[in-house]
Amino acid sequence: MKKYIFFLLLVLPAITYAQPGAHVYGGISALRFSNDIMTPEGTAHRGYHIGLDARLNPGDLYFVAGLCFHNLNLTASSDKNYFSIDNKMQFLKMRVGMQAHIIKFTSALQIRAKVLLVGTRVLDYQRSSLPGNFTDINEIGGGVLFGIGAELLAFTMDLSYDLGLTDGLLDVEGSKVHVISFNIGFFF
């Protein structure tokens, strides 16, 4: 874990150096594997996330790059508690893509949309807690994130859906990982 924290401390300043702005945020997430044994119907792997995205150019259409850390329950549950993590599954998402202001009510209030490519690196989980005959989680994954958000002055609110393009379980076809996230943040 120390090497990941060290990596973040080295990379985050490089991402945000001399850029038009940074977006710091946190919120809740619900993850579902497309495999019903891993995530039975009516359940999800719930938890929280924190992240930092950099806007890489000015204007209404701009590039975004960032990192987002997720801490979720490996055990799927119908319980809606996002902050009680009994059996953790932690991963880091590296995101890059485009974001645009699509509606400008005023200069202080705007609606924006984004499409990002996402690379995921699993940092920690307990193999012994995997249900069924599953032996391992793919530690590297990828997907596409679609999101919509609002900005009021420097405050932000976002809803996003991460469509998994790779299988989340090792050697199990049809185990894509999909994540829906809601967060609030601050842009500076």
**Domain hosting residue 167, numbered range:** 2-187
Lowest mean pLDDT, pick from 10-24, 98-112, 137-151: 10-24
Instruction: Name residue, tokens 């202080």.
Output: 108
CATH classification of the domain holding 44: 2.40.160.20
Q: Which residues contact 106 (CB under 8 A, 6 or more apart)?
A: none
Give 117-137 pLDDT, tens digit per residue.
999 999 988 777 777 777 788
Q: What is the mean pLDDT of residues 99-122?
A: 94
* Residues 39 and 77 sit within 8 Å (Cβ to Cβ): no
Q: Are residues 49 and 181 in contact, defined by beta-carbon separation less than 8 angstroms?
A: yes
CA torsion, ordered 20, 154, 182, 158, to nearest 10 deg: -60
- Of the pLDDT bands very low, low, confident and very high (cuts 50, 70, 90), residue 2 is low
Please state, in angstroms and rounded to a whole number, the distance separating the CA atoms of residues 14 and 117.
Answer: 19
d(CA 128, CA 120): 21
Question: pLDDT confidence of 168, banded at 50, 70, 90?
Answer: confident
The domain tally of the chain equals 1
